[in-house]
């Protein structure tokens, strides 16, 4: 096999983060160096524990570092209405099989970037607080990362406030810092994640794999079907798995190279991502804004990876 992608997954599990962890832990193409967890969907005490619970479910021992317990600036927002008070809908997930690693998420990211200069891929599926702190501590990190793939933002509408997507709203200043840092970054916002959905039929296929990991993934994905009907999505959008799969299979996605910034001040629009794909201003591009996905291939790839848990994958 070709050299594996050295990766850190920075997340806030969170039900869709949990599926992203299962995918990262299963993918033979990935060398999962660490999972780092920040506060986001629920508090840090839950996210840092849930990351280890999901790794226990995956049967993997990967270092988990706790990150930020609150945003760099501004008030904390959570999404426990969607993810449940414990962040995993109260589902029966194993207890952690190992303790947290010593040190912080941002130092773990900085250290790994020095061990793997130009190679480390960071997938961020929560607020960008840990990466923001790492870049504030050492701005040269931007040049050492092979790339960042982040789930966050939307060019059109919000899913938390009318204007803002949750991960960006949860720490707009961190997201703005990251986008201005010069790091190579692909943004998987709602534009693409609402196209990367699982239908009930896809969920049944996943369930039929029959393993604890696949059944857990099916249960959490199913919980998104009704919630997203109000957005006119025909299934359950795979927000965080989208960022993970983009890191693995960018060929499945379409994107525009453009400028993106974050509104940090607006009374109604705090946390809104502003995208310059078409304006006369033609601001200098700072990201790849992911716009579309081959949904059928996305579903197949997700099922292929989760099938590896039962030894059913290729």
Q: Supply the DSSP symbol for 104.
A: B
Q: Supply the DSSP symbol for 311.
A: T
Q: Is 46 a catalytic residue?
A: no
Closest to 181 (Cα-Cα) out of 106, 255, 131:
131
Q: What residue ranges bind Ca ion (CB under 5 A)?
A: 12, 14, 17, 125-126, 240
Q: Which is nearer to ligand BDR, 144 or 159 (CB)?
A: 159
Closest CB 15 distance from Ca ion, rounded Å = 8
Choose the contact partner of 159 out of Ca ion, ligand BDR, none; CB within 5 to 8 A by kind: ligand BDR
Closest CB 137 distance from ligand BDR, rounded Å = 24
Q: Which is nearer to ligand BDR, 159 or 211 (CB)?
A: 159
Closest CB 151 distance from Ca ion, rounded Å = 6
Closest CB 37 distance from ligand BDR, rounded Å = 12
Choose the contact partner of 286 out of ligand BDR, Ca ion, none; CB within 5 to 8 A by kind: none
CA–CA distance, 111 with 234 (Å, rounded to integer): 42
Closest CB 58 distance from Ca ion, rounded Å = 17
SS3 content of the chain, % helix, strand, coil (to 5): 40, 20, 40
Choosing from 46, 83, 194, 239, the catalytic residue is: 239
Helix H or strand E segment including 259: strand 253-262
- Residue 67 has a CB neighbour count (10 Å cut-off) of 28
Strand partners, 258: 287
Q: Which is nearer to Ca ion, 19 or 133 (CB)?
A: 19
Choose the contact partner of 165 out of ligand BDR, Ca ion, none; CB within 5 to 8 A by kind: ligand BDR
Residue count of the chain: 314
Residue number of the CB closest to ligand BDR reads 166
User: Which residues touch 75 (CB under 8 Å, ≥6 apart)?
Assistant: none
Q: Which is nearer to ligand BDR, 48 or 167 (CB)?
A: 167
Q: Which is nearer to ligand BDR, 306 or 307 (CB)?
A: 306
Closest CB 145 distance from ligand BDR, rounded Å = 20
Q: Which is nearer to Ca ion, 245 or 258 (CB)?
A: 245
Choose the contact partner of 301 out of ligand BDR, Ca ion, none; CB within 5 to 8 A by kind: none
Q: What residue ranges bind ligand BDR (CB under 6 A)?
A: 14, 16-17, 41, 79, 82, 125-126, 151, 159, 165-167, 239-240
CA dist 222 to 51, 63, 121, Å?
20, 29, 29
Closest to 41 (Cα-Cα) out of 17, 20, 25:
17
Going by DSSP bridges, is the β-strand pair 253-262/236-237 parallel, antiparallel, or unpaired? unpaired
Helical H runs in the chain? 15-26, 44-58, 80-83, 105-115, 129-137, 141-144, 166-169, 172-179, 190-193, 200-207, 212-229, 239-248, 295-307
Active-site residue set: 239
């Amino acid at each position: 096999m070709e050299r594996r992608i050295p990766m850190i997954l920075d997340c806030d599990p969170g039900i869709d983060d949990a599926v992203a962890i299962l995918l990262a832990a299963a993918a033979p193409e990935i060398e999962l160096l660490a999972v780092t967890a920040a506060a986001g969907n629920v508090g840090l005490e839950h996210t840092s524990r849930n990351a280890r619970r999901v790794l226990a479910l995956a049967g993997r021992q990967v270092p988990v570092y706790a990150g930020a317990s609150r945003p760099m600036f501004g008030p904390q927002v959570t999404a426990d209405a969607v993810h449940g008070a414990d962040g995993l809908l109260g589902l029966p997930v194993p207890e952690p099989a190992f303790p947290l690693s010593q040190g912080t998420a941002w130092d773990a990211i900085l250290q790994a970037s020095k061990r793997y200069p130009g190679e480390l891929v960071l997938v961020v599926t929560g607020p960008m607080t840990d990466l923001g702190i790492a870049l504030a501590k050492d701005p040269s990190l931007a040049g050492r990362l092979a790339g960042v793939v982040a789930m966050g933002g939307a060019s059109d509408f919000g899913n938390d406030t009318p204007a803002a997507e949750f991960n960006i709203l949860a720490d707009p200043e961190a997201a703005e810092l990251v986008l201005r840092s010069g790091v190579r970054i692909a943004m998987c916002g709602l534009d693409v994640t609402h196209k990367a959905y699982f239908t009930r039929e896809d969920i049944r296929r996943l369930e039929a794999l029959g393993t604890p990991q696949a059944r857990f993934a099916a249960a959490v994905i199913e919980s998104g079907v009704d919630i997203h009907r109000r957005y006119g999505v025909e299934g359950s959008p795979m927000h965080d798995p989208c960022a993970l799969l983009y890191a693995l299979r960018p060929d499945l996605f379409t994107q525009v190279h453009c400028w993106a910034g974050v509104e940090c001040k607006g009374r109604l629009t705090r946390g809104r991502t502003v995208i310059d794909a078409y304006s006369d201003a033609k601001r200098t591009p700072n990201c790849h804004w992911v716009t579309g996905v081959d949904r059928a291939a996305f579903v197949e790839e997700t099922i292929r990876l989760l099938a590896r848990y039962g030894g059913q994958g290729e």
